[in-house]
Amino acid sequence: MESRTIGNRTVSAIGLGGMPMSIEGRPERERSIDTIHAALDAGVTFIDTADAYHRDAGEVGHNESLIAEALASYGSDTSHVLVATKGGHLRPGDGSWTRDGRPEYLKQAAKASLARLGGDAIGLYQFHRPDPDVPYADSIGALKDLLDEGVIELAGISNASVDQIDEAHGILGGSLVSVQNQFSPRFLSSRPELEHAASLGLAFLPWSPLGGISNAAELASSHAAFAEVADAHGVSPYQVTLAWELSIASTVIPIPGASRPASITDSAKAADLQLTPDDIATIEASLVGS
């Protein structure tokens, strides 16, 4: 598979998002393990998770533990796989999402994530979502402390604005390596952040790159250009969508969520799909005004 970089790490151009395997509607554990193994079989070496990827109260870190189990049971060396997790977003267990960006909380959460994931340090730790009750600089300062303490190897931010990217970059400098924002044909409003991250040499990790769990099935019907290009290449519109995102900048690494082996196997093939300039022009023209 084509490779790209996150900081000093080389990873697959397509990653795996773990959230669907742990929240509402999640499959049985065995199928989730099979899905992660299928991703590894397909050459995926970047997996994204978060301590908040769980369904019920009392199971914080469900997805982190699931990924750790899958890597341990794979049967081959997985030391080259970069696992990214996040902290600062919480799920009380009633279906809601809350935030806690206090430095003391983030440090505690990171250490708990490390215990679940195993190893000497978290490969990539990301501040999940800004907390309006905590100065952004204070939350980012916690990442700096975690780097200094060796709890994490690389630092990233998620759901960040251009100004927040600059603020985090000013605090962390070269230690900031990634920005993870929502981006897809359905959600284009973070393109300024994508382009700004690229200008700084930061990896941009689109979450819900296919439009989200409840909307991905409608991708072809909602965005005919992707279906048209897919038909011309004899591939799925999902592959075309991911290949288009890869074409925007060499720093883009989509992380499609999956809970079935077939889904991530199909998505991984996008890294090898070569869209023509005409394909990209057709797609971009269809998105004008979206």
Query: For residue 149, which of 128, 120, 178, 173 has the smallest C-alpha distance?
Result: 120
Structure tokens at 149: 């303490």
Contacts of 100 (CB under 8 A, 6+ apart): 88, 90, 106, 131, 134
- Three-state secondary-structure class, residue 203: strand
53 a catalytic residue: yes
Q: Give CA–CA dist 192/78, Å, rounded.
A: 34
Please report the sign of the dihedral spanned by the C-alpha atoms of residue 249, residue 83, residue 64, residue 240. positive
Partners of 156 in beta bridges: 126, 178
Rounded to 5°, the CA angle 265-50-68 comes to: 65
Which residues carry out catalysis?
A: 53
